[in-house]
């Protein structure tokens, strides 16, 4: 049984690696080489990576791919995507080219309001609490002036603070519900600093106003941002949908719409349907140095906003016109955090033309819509596995350490044969025999 260790965080990186290797790998040289193989030879760059998080021992790489030919609001983009899953980048690229020939994507930011809350308990008279809040609301804002002045200079800041009574859901539970505009910053640190100041003022003023019983529980931003919305859509005449996979556009449009409708009413399908959207969304969010866990949490909460988990995309057919659209909450930033630190994040943002946060919201939403269109197009025509397994073939070949000659022969073989894991294994064994 392994023993606990004290002071691990104070060890050097080498000492941390040594302890892990001795404890879990019997000081195995191959494990040591593996860890050190992923260190960056540029010591300055490696130090930067080491300081992103705590207890760093090495770097974990993910591929950075690009999907070209995205026409968004008449501007052409090549979109960076960081993801490990086969066929995602290929599918996005295919959808981009399909819609490029049909007028491209349209996207608009509906609103950019972000939210933070001070959660507190109070067991006294509700009218007294409301009177107290109304009296000190201006001071809540003025006491945060040192935090908000730079944001206000750029046009952002605190939009409003409300007192919300949540006692029907939980005894004695209230909140200060604050809304913010953070412009090109995602704004987490800004919002949390404001909230903690609100909490201090809200508590400190109780003596002056002679109100007792307020107990601050916590102050924290919300990753559910239903008023930070972006919409992306594609539309064309039904006959314009025709391509090599869509021989009957009318039949395809109806089947596609039915597939979306199923995801709107059936949660089991909706989860997988939305996961495909997030393949595109997360890949761009990660490539641009944003928090994909926050985006995931907020988006899936939004998918449940009507009391049942449902599709994030929608489809209509009116007057011979096919329309497919997506509306999601996205709290993103193009300044601050990793956006100014990680060299590849800076590279990705420059490739996108140094977008504002609003522009990035549009690009990310479009990536999600494109990914979903590609998946549904495959599902309702050729089937999802045909393209996916061909892309997955290389992963299977690498798993069995196929050399370049073997790869060439097997790729040629599976141009005419169905790709399954067992079929690939059988073909490798036959070739090697």
Task: Judge whether 430 counts as a catalytic residue.
Answer: no
H or E stretch covering 246: none
Taking each helix axis as running N to C, give the angle between helix 357-379 and helix 249-265, from 0 to 180 degrees, rounded to the nearest 10: 110
Cα–Cα dist 312/375, whole Å: 14
* pLDDT of the residue at 414: 80
Taking each helix axis as running N to C, give the angle between helix 404-413 and helix 384-399, from 0 to 180 degrees, rounded to the nearest 10: 160
H or E stretch covering 158: strand 157-165
Cα–Cα dist 58/21, whole Å: 13
Task: Judge whether 282 counts as a catalytic residue.
Answer: no
Measuring CA to CA, how many Å separate 312 from each of 79, 186, 207?
A: 21, 22, 48
DSSP label of 335: B
* pLDDT of the residue at 304: 98
Q: For the whole prediction, is pTM greater than 0.85?
A: yes
Task: Judge whether 2 counts as a catalytic residue.
Answer: no
Neighbours of 248 (CB within 10 A): 11
Task: Give the architecture (CATH level 2) of 64-111+226-382.
Answer: Alpha-Beta Complex (3.90)
Measuring CA to CA, how many Å separate 206 from each of 129, 157, 203, 321?
A: 10, 26, 6, 61
Which listed residue (97, 139, 177, 275) is catalytic?
A: 275
* pLDDT of the residue at 386: 57
Cα–Cα dist 21/260, whole Å: 50
Tell me the CB-side half-sphere exposure of residue 123, using CA atoms within 13 A. 3
Cα–Cα dist 413/410, whole Å: 5
Task: Give the architecture (CATH level 2) of 114-221.
Answer: 2-Layer Sandwich (3.30)
Listed by start position, the domains of the chain span 8-50, 64-111+226-382, 114-221, 387-432
Task: Judge whether 85 counts as a catalytic residue.
Answer: yes
Cα–Cα dist 355/351, whole Å: 9
DSSP label of 80: E
Which listed residue (13, 18, 49, 85) is catalytic?
A: 85
pLDDT, averaged per 10 consecutive residues of the chain (433 residues), comes to: 87 95 91 95 93 95 97 98 95 97 98 98 97 98 97 97 98 98 95 98 96 97 97 98 94 98 98 98 98 98 98 97 98 90 95 98 98 96 64 78 85 79 84 83
Which listed residue (291, 359, 362, 392) is catalytic?
A: 291
Cα–Cα dist 5/11, whole Å: 11
Which listed residue (94, 257, 388, 392) is catalytic?
A: 388
Within 8 A by CB and 6+ apart from 4, the residues are none
For the stretch 351-377, pLDDT in tens is 999 999 999 999 999 999 999 999 999
Q: Which residues does residue 218 pair with via DSSP β-bridges, in sequence order?
A: 119
Token digits of residue 254? 């109806």
Three-class SS state of 82: strand
């Amino acid at each position: 049984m392994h023993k606990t260790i004290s002071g691990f965080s104070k060890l050097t990186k080498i000492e941390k690696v040594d302890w892990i290797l001795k404890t879990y790998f019997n000081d195995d040289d191959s494990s040591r080489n593996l860890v050190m193989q992923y260190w960056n030879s540029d010591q300055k760059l490696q130090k930067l990576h080491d300081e992103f998080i705590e207890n760093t021992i090495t770097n974990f790489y993910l591929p950075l791919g690009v999907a070209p030919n995205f026409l968004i609001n008449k501007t052409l983009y090549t979109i960076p995507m960081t993801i490990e899953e086969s066929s995602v980048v290929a599918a996005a690229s295919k959808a981009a080219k399909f819609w490029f020939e049909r007028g491209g994507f349209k996207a608009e930011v509906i609103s950019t309001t972000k939210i933070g809350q001070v959660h507190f308990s109070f067991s006294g008279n509700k009218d007294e609490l409301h009177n107290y809040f109304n009296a000190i609301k201006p001071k809540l804002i003025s006491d945060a002036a040192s935090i908000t002045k730079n944001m206000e200079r750029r046009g952002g800041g605190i939009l409003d603070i409300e007192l919300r009574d949540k006692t029907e859901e939980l005894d004695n539970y209230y909140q200060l519900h604050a809304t913010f505009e953070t412009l090109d910053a995602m704004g987490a640190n800004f919002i949390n600093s404001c909230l903690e100041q609100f909490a201090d003022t809200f508590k400190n003023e109780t003596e002056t106003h002679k109100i007792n019983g307020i107990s601050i529980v916590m102050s924290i931003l919300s990753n559910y941002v239903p008023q930070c919305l972006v919409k992306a859509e594609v539309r064309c005449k039904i006959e314009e949908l025709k391509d090599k996979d869509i021989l009957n556009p009318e039949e395809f449009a109806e089947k596609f719409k039915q597939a979306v409708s199923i995801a709107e009413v059936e949660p089991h399908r909706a989860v997988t349907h939305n996961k495909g959207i997030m393949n595109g969304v997360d890949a761009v969010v990660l490539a641009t140095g944003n928090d994909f866990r926050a985006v995931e949490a907020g988006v899936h909460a939004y998918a449940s906003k009507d009391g049942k988990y449902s599709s994030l995309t929608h489809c209509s057919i009116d007057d011979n016109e096919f329309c497919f659209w997506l509306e999601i909450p996205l709290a993103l930033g193009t300044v601050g955090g990793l956006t100014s630190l990680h060299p590849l994040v800076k590279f990705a943002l420059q490739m996108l033309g140094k977008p504002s946060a609003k522009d990035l919201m549009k690009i990310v939403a479009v990536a999600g819509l494109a990914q979903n269109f590609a998946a549904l197009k495959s599902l309702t025509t050729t089937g999802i596995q045909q393209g996916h397994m061909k892309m997955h073939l290389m992963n299977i070949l690498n798993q069995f350490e196929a050399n370049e000659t073997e790869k060439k022969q097997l790729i040629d073989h599976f141009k005419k044969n169905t790709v399954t894991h067992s079929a690939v294994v059988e073909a490798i064994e036959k070739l090697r025999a």
